[in-house]
Structure 1
């Protein structure tokens, strides 16, 4: 089975996200000393923590450019967030 270029890019992005999330989870016990702040994760590294989400995003673009990175709030209990949109059948 061959993957299209788009499928390969999506797979790479998910792989990066899983790696960054794993790095965050591994560092979480130490990060909890800064609960409420936002952690910036690039690859396997916690690059820094920031008081504001916007500061973490700005630092992420400054340090990583257009390379994917993760910004995640440091909390002991993670909030569950789900996104949904109304689906309607298209009829012509």
Structure 2
């Protein structure tokens, strides 16, 4: 067991990923602990059901995709925007 938030939910999602990609690609999965609670057409639907069932307990809603989309965030808010021109 780990203190990482949603560790069990992430493991559950990863273990069921091949099955989910085959049946629910692009949909949103609701995961609580070791259980895939349901698959929904929209993020809002999955989130709504999650809050109705689990209130403020941790749960995870994730879009079913074969690979993670990498997102980059930074805390350095004073970065200058750079434009590179290829010649």
Please indicate the TM-score interval, normalised by the length of the shorter structure: 0.7 to 0.9
Equivalent position to 1:64, from 54, 69, 80: 54
SS at match of 2:49: helix
Calculate the aligned-residue CA RMSD, in Å. 1.7
Kindly report which structure 2 residues correspond to 1:12-91, keeping only aligned pairs within 5 A, or say none: 12=3, 14=4, 16-32=5-21, 33-86=23-76
The structure whose residues are more often helix, as a share, is: 1
- Aligned pair count? 76
SS at match of 2:19: helix
Report the Cα offset of residue 46 of structure 1: 0.4
Alpha-carbon separation, structure 2, partners of 1:43 and 1:82: 27
Report the Cα offset of residue 87 of structure 1: 5.2
> Any stretches of 5+ residues in structure 1 without a counterpart?
1-10
The TM-score, its normalising length taken from structure 2, stands at 0.78
Residue aligning to 2:85? none
Report the Cα offset of residue 84 of structure 1: 2.0
> Any stretches of 5+ residues in structure 2 without a counterpart?
79-87
SS at match of 1:59: helix
